[in-house]
Chains A and B, each alone.
Chain A
Amino acid sequence: MTVDETIRQVLADHGRLAVPVDTLADDADLFGAGMTSHASVNVMLALEDAFEFEFSEKMLKKSTFESIEAIRTGVLEMTGE
């Protein structure tokens, strides 16, 4: 799977979104789409599992998880790609 496909799968499995993840644009507001703070913790942990890294403290902010685009930026920064 590509990075984006993995992110979307993680969101489908753990984001508890109110709408199917494949209906969301890359820049759609995930919190606006129903992701709670608690769900965002699960998304964070699942991303760490999927990409085999641990988010640094400076990455742990709401904006890191606010959209697929933002998550992709964070993942690529953490994986050094």
Chain B
Amino acid sequence: MSASATLRVGIDLVSVDEVADSVRHFGDRYVTRIYTSHEIDSCRAEMGHGDAGAPGPSDALEAYAIGSLAARFAAKEAVMKVLRPIGVQLDWRTIEIHRMTGGWCEIRLSGRAATMAVEAGIEELSVSLTHEASMAGAVVVGRCTDTYPSQGREET
């Protein structure tokens, strides 16, 4: 690693059952406020990515691979930890977990999230997702240039 680069790491865990509860209770309203259309398409239950959520009577619940939704929420939160917003709640949809044809995921930022990444000197983000029956998690690593020495470096 170049001496002029630094790394930021974010990690998050989400309960798959909590995401299932949200989909069951709020349906598509919950889904469309959090996820981009690409993410929603990637998490359709018929895509066969493995629905780790508990089965339920709701059509909305059965429409999605809940474990995949939960893993993406964890990834968005992990990106937030890398971006380190202060007093700002980014629109969740400005952080997209983009599923590539080969099956791995990349992070695509837009809007305020993209601006924050530029301001922090973050040149590259990498993500890894996982989900089991009850929990989903994600780790995000950001590679930053060292040209922004005032960006939150002060110790408290």
Contact = CB atoms under 8 A, between A and B. Distances in A.
| Chains A and B are bound partners | yes
Interface of A: 16, 37-39, 41-42, 45-46, 57, 60-64
Given A45-B30, A45-B33, A38 B73 contact: yes
B87 A41 contact: no
- Main SS of chain B's interface residues? helix
B151 to A, nearest CB: 20
Contacts of B15: 38
A61 B26 contact: no
Contacts of B92: 41
Contact of B26 (A16, A38, A42, A64): A42
Contacts of A45: 22, 26, 29-30, 33
Binding site secondary structure of chain A:
helix
Nearest to A41: B34
A38 B89 contact: no
A39 B18 contact: yes
Interface in B56-114: 73, 77, 80, 87-89, 91-92
B88 A61 contact: yes
Contacts of A64: 89
Contact of B87 (A16, A57, A61): A61
A60 B92 CA distance: 10
B19 interface: yes
24 contacts: A16-B18, A37-B77, A37-B80, A38-B19, A38-B22, A38-B73, A41-B30, A41-B34, A42-B21, A42-B30, A45-B22, A45-B26, A45-B29, A45-B30, A45-B33, A46-B26, A60-B91, A61-B87, A61-B88, A61-B89, A62-B87, A62-B88, A63-B87, A64-B89
Contacts of B77: 37-38
B14 interface: yes
